[in-house]
Amino acid sequence: MRTPVRPIDLASDRDPGFQAEVARASGQLLQSCYQCGNCTAGCVYTPDYDYPVHQVMRLVQLGLRERALGCRSLWLCATCQACTTRCPNDIDVARVMDVLRHMARQAGFAPEPGVKTFTDGFLASVAKHGRVFEAGLAAAFALKGGRPMQDASLGLPMLLRGKLSLSPHEPEGHGKAEVAAIFARFAKQGAGPGSSGEARRGGAAEDKK
């Protein structure tokens, strides 16, 4: 369900360089999108998005930076790539969504705070241990969400069945150092865990070369 937002004013809202910026970062020929809607037709999250994925593409084409980066859809996307496989113009739409989410994060947008909290926790766990420590992530997410007993009833059965460990299993050999190097590289770009800080906006804000 789309949140009511102010009408778009193309004269003042457009950022003429935005499409080129997204095209550079994603490596996709964004202007070849002709709004057929095939991507949206295959996206299982369309009913939950504020902007269906083909409209996200259109926001980018129009240079509506704030509207695109502030939309909830970026945070609900599951990166399933159904949109990518359905695009008749070979646009990797899922990659565009990834790039936009990355840009939104850097710009401090977080219209879905729960998703951001989980993502931050996941990244922090991988950065610290070299791979995710599920029990620690679940506990941190429940505590930060203010619901410490959330999913507690699932924890014990999972522990008893060996699906959860109470201690992290870090990668052997150079694995942990290699993962740390990836995080260090992204930290230089201001995109590491928690680098976006607190959300400064909430809710829907309003070339393959």
Site for ligand SF4, rule CB under 6 A:
33-39, 42-43, 45, 53-54, 57, 77-83, 86-89, 91, 93-94, 97
Compare residues 57 and 124 and give the one whose CB is closer to ligand SF4: 57
Report, in Å, the least distance between residue 116 CB and ligand SF4: 17
> Considering beta carbons, is residue 17 or 88 the nearer one to ligand SF4?
88
Q: Which C-beta is closer to ligand SF4: that of 90 or that of 170?
A: 90
Which one, 83 or 137, has the nearer CB to ligand SF4?
Answer: 83
Provide, rounded to whole angstroms, the least separation between the CB of residue 185 and ligand SF4.
24
SS3 of the chain: CCCCCCCCCHHHHCCCCHHHHHHHHHCCCHHHCCCCCHHHHCCCCHHHCCCCHHHHHHHHHCCCHHHHHCCCHHHHCCCCCHHHHHCCCCCCHHHHHHHHHHHHHHHCECCCHHHHHHHHHHHHHHHHHCCCCHHHHHHHHHHHCCCCCCCHHHHHHHHHCCCCCCCCCCCCCCHHHHHHHHHHHHHHCCCCCCCCCCCCECCCCCCCC
Residue 71: Cβ-neighbour burial (10 angstroms; 0-12, 13-18, 19+) = buried
Minimum CB separation from ligand SF4 for residue 136, in Å?
27
Q: Which is nearer to ligand SF4, 47 or 197 (CB)?
A: 47
CB of 101 to ligand SF4, least distance (A): 10
CB of 22 to ligand SF4, least distance (A): 12
